[in-house]
Structure 1
Amino acid sequence: MNKCTKTIAEKMFFFSRHLRKVGFRFLVDLAVISLIESGAMESKDFIRTENYNLRLKPTGARKIVNEFSNMLNKKVSY
């Protein structure tokens, strides 16, 4: 493998890693919004830190994982 090909391969690898991180982020956000709007997520599913950030408790994380899984397994017409 020459230097040019290696550089392109490395760039593709890092781009694919970045795409995986960012690519599904909007689906997770959509799952959270869907759960909040449906009333399935409650304030007890979150922990508020001392600097007022919200973190998920295990029960909230489980709900989001289940919702995300349902979104990915949903049948769609194309």
Structure 2
Amino acid sequence: MSASATSPSTKTALACVTRQGQDTGRYAKAVEQLGSARGEVRLGGIYALQRLAQDSGRDRPTIVHVLAAYARTRWRRT
């Protein structure tokens, strides 16, 4: 089946899978940034997770838990 003969539902499913893959990459990079020694990189990770939470309702609860755990961990160190 050629790409031009792909049904609308198949195109929608492929777009969804592509979006989920992009969200996973964004999530992984943002969480990695939280572990940086540089404060501005950590802050960038927080903002990236916030934006991802806005964009992906499916991932929002996980992101909230990650940010809460990060905040608790950071408060204990200071």
Q: Give the TM-score of the pair, scaled to structure 2.
A: 0.40
Which structure shows the higher strand fraction? 1
Which structure shows the higher helix fraction? 2
Larger Rg: 1
Q: Give the TM-score of the pair, scaled to structure 1.
A: 0.40
